[in-house]
Amino acid sequence: MDALVLLLTLAALLAVGMPVAFAVGLSAVVGALWIGLPLEALMIQITSGVNKFTLLAIPFFILAGAIMAEGGIAQRLVNFAYLFVGFIRGGLSLVNIMASTFFGAISGSSVADTASVGSVMIPEMEKKGYPRAYAAAVTASGSVQAILIPPSHNSVIYSLAAGGTVSVAALFIAGVLPGLLLGGSLMLMCMLFARRRGYPKGEPVTLKAALKISMDALWGLMTVVIILGGILSGIFTATESAAVACLWAFFVTMFIYRDYRWNELPKLMFRTVKTVTIVMILIGFAAGFGAVMTWMQLPTRITEFFTSLSDNKYVILMYINILLLLIGTLMDMAPIILILTPVLLPVTNALGIDPVHFGMIMMVNLGIGLITPPVGSVLFVASAVSKQNIETVVRNMLPFYGVLLVVLALITWIPAISLWLPKLLGMM
């Protein structure tokens, strides 16, 4: 009955349109009052939830991504990706996905990826004969890579939701191969579509132009080297690498590329602070919500429920995948991670599933939710950038959903895709 009151309160508040962060916080208050928990104890949990050094990585990564997104990096990464795959039939769709790979390794945000790469690639693809809705579908599905490829903000949030027991650095490195697998699978499908539909090849680039494009893009790509190189070498922690990457992004944007005006910086800072504030409020309230769930012994009950369904961990993972896919269509990614990780992690731990592996499973599931109606934020951005209605974009997304589900199955049932690289580098 305790858990029912908590969950029904949350569902009712979301149903009437209350913002997710406040719905989570108010549900925690109702749950605490129901079980007789002093509100002072709940407030301690809420403040403790945001009083963590690791969380400093989030504002730094968000700011670095925002600076690079608005400072001309997207066009340069598109040009750089063109050197590798632009000459292939259907090359612009491949360039779109590869540019998302590069940009995701800088921004860590699927929404920023879709907005930045999409604003460059969707008009260009339409000009070369690709349907605009198809270009939007390619952009949206390719941007899911940003959730997996470091530096993913959501990996930091997952580490926090797991109680700090999972290393952010291990999650970053674990996301590399799943992200590349996702991007490669989407590119393969785009090549098949290009051959079947007769999409054009791109023009070859001269050696002189290729060198100029590479040098121009190198400044932005150094952000990736700073983040991963600093973490792997042990020079930086994940949080410190975020701060250094932020400084580098500012230097490159304002002094190297110089496509961004100084008088626009205050507006960018305001938008970044607004985003970070929303995230931090959500994290704090979710910490209180999770504490109330723990006091109600909800994680223990859910663990017993799942383990009673089957003794095969892959069958249970299938059930969890279905649950995450369904919830991912109804809520945004961050609140789901914060609410469900403390609930589902005991289940997967009881089955002997590595928490880093489960983190990748959760990321892919919820990444699919970002491009799935009715609450797919990335889908909405792709629709807005392409000026196509949601229904048209979703119809073009159907084959991409199929590829994403296949990738999800591979990542779920082949743990080595996620764990091989962290183990190789001695992070596990």
SS (H, E, C) the chain: CHHHHHHHHHHHHHHCCCCHHHHHHHHHHHHHHHCCCCHHHHHHHHHHHHCCHHHHHHHHHHHHHHHHHHCCHHHHHHHHHHHHHCCCCCHHHHHHHHHHHHHHHHHCCHHHHHHHHHHHHHHHHHHCCCCHHHHHHHHHHHCCHHHHCCCCHHHHHHHHHCCCCCCHHHHHHHCHHHHHHHHHHHHHHHHHHHHHHCCCCCCCCCHHHHHHHHHHHHHHHHHHHHHHHHHHHCCCCHHHHHHHHHHHHHHHHHHHHCCCCHHHHHHHHHHHHHHHHHHHHHHHHHHHHHHHHHHCCHHHHHHHHHHHHCCCHHHHHHHHHHHHHHHHCCCCHHHHHHHHHHHHHHHHHHCCCCHHHHHHHHHHHHHHHHCCCCCCHHHHHHHHHHCCCHHHHHHHHHHHHHHHHHHHHHHHHCCHHHHHHHHHCCCC
**Least confident segment among 58-72, 234-248, 375-389:** 58-72
Per-residue tokens: 344 = 């589902």
Q: Cβ atoms within 10 A of the Cβ of 267, count?
A: 10
Is the pLDDT at 45 greater than 90? The verdict is no
Give the mean pLDDT of the chain: 88
Q: What is the mean pLDDT of residues 196-201?
A: 87
Q: What is the mean pLDDT of residues 393-416?
A: 95
Residue 208: its pLDDT value, please?
A: 87
Query: Closest Cα to residue 86, out of 104, 100, 98?
Result: 98
Tokens 């969380």, located at residue: 55
Angstrom distance (rounded) from CA 340 to CA 345: 8
pLDDT (tens digit, 9 = 90+) per residue, 255-269? 888 878 888 888 888
Residue 216: its pLDDT value, please?
A: 87
Residue 263: its pLDDT value, please?
A: 85
Residue 76: its pLDDT value, please?
A: 87
Residue 328: its pLDDT value, please?
A: 87
Q: Cβ atoms within 10 A of the Cβ of 129, count?
A: 11
Residue 17: its pLDDT value, please?
A: 82
pTM score of the predicted model: 0.88
Q: What is the mean pLDDT of residues 366-388?
A: 88
Is the pLDDT at 416 greater than 80? The verdict is yes
Assign 242 a pLDDT band (cuts: 50, 70, 90).
confident
Angstrom distance (rounded) from CA 357 to CA 166: 10
pLDDT (tens digit, 9 = 90+) per residue, 50-99? 888 778 888 888 888 788 777 778 788 888 998 888 888 888 999 999 99
Angstrom distance (rounded) from CA 336 to CA 330: 10
Residue 64: its pLDDT value, please?
A: 81
pLDDT (tens digit, 9 = 90+) per residue, 155-164? 989 998 888 8
Is the pLDDT at 418 greater than 90? The verdict is yes
Assign 130 a pLDDT band (cuts: 50, 70, 90).
very high
Q: What is the mean pLDDT of residues 202-211?
A: 84
Half-sphere exposure of 62 (CA within 13 A, CB side): 23
Residue 86: its pLDDT value, please?
A: 83
* Percent of the chain scoring above 70 in pLDDT: 100
Residue 205: its pLDDT value, please?
A: 83
Per-residue tokens: 185 = 């699978």
Amino acid at 50: V
Residue 138: its pLDDT value, please?
A: 95
Q: What is the mean pLDDT of residues 239-259?
A: 85
Cβ atoms of 252 and 219 within 8 Å: the answer is: yes
Residue 299: its pLDDT value, please?
A: 78
Assign 289 a pLDDT band (cuts: 50, 70, 90).
confident
Cβ atoms of 151 and 39 within 8 Å: the answer is: no
pLDDT (tens digit, 9 = 90+) per residue, 320-332? 999 999 888 878 8
Residue 233: its pLDDT value, please?
A: 79
